[in-house]
Amino acid sequence: MRVVVPCETDETLDSLRSGHFGHAPWLTVVDLDEDMKPLSVTAVKNADHDMAGCGGVIEHVMGLGADAIITAGMGYPPFMRFTQAGVKVYVDRETPGVADVLVKFVAGDIAPMGEDDTCKH
């Protein structure tokens, strides 16, 4: 399973998560094995929202082969595009660090995002 976490820096597990998916400067990409143990962790520069627009950021993440995204915030259009493409979107607004949010995710302590959880802007 490939999990993408929008974050503020390229420090992978030591990064702080971004408050909003589309404007995150970096993405931490984690490949998990069937036992939900990390196989690899990499930092990928996100597409520039101001240059590529929301659609460009979505396509960039889709191109990474994401199975799931863990976000603190995401608008309705990206949420719908991801879910329609089979990418599961999870929401956690309390955990600031990438490593800690992954621990919660693996433990099953992060809920899937619903339409009502999306940002309204």
Q: Residue 54 has what pLDDT?
A: 64
Q: How many domains does the chain have?
A: 1
**118 is a domain residue:** no
| Per-residue pLDDT tens digits for 57-110 | 888 899 999 999 999 989 898 999 999 999 999 999 999 999 999 999 999 999
| CATH number of domain containing 101 | 3.30.420.130
Q: Residue 116 has what pLDDT?
A: 87
**75 is a domain residue:** yes
Q: Residue 119 has what pLDDT?
A: 81
pTM: 0.91
Residue 61: how many other CB atoms lie within 10 Å: 25
| Per-residue pLDDT tens digits for 28-52 | 999 999 999 999 999 999 876 555 5
Q: Residue 121 has what pLDDT?
A: 57
What's the CA gap between 78 and 98, in Å, rounded?
A: 21
C-beta separation of 78 from 8 below 8 A: no
Helices (DSSP H) in the chain: which residue ranges? 49-63, 76-84, 98-106
Domain residues for the domain of 8 are 2-111
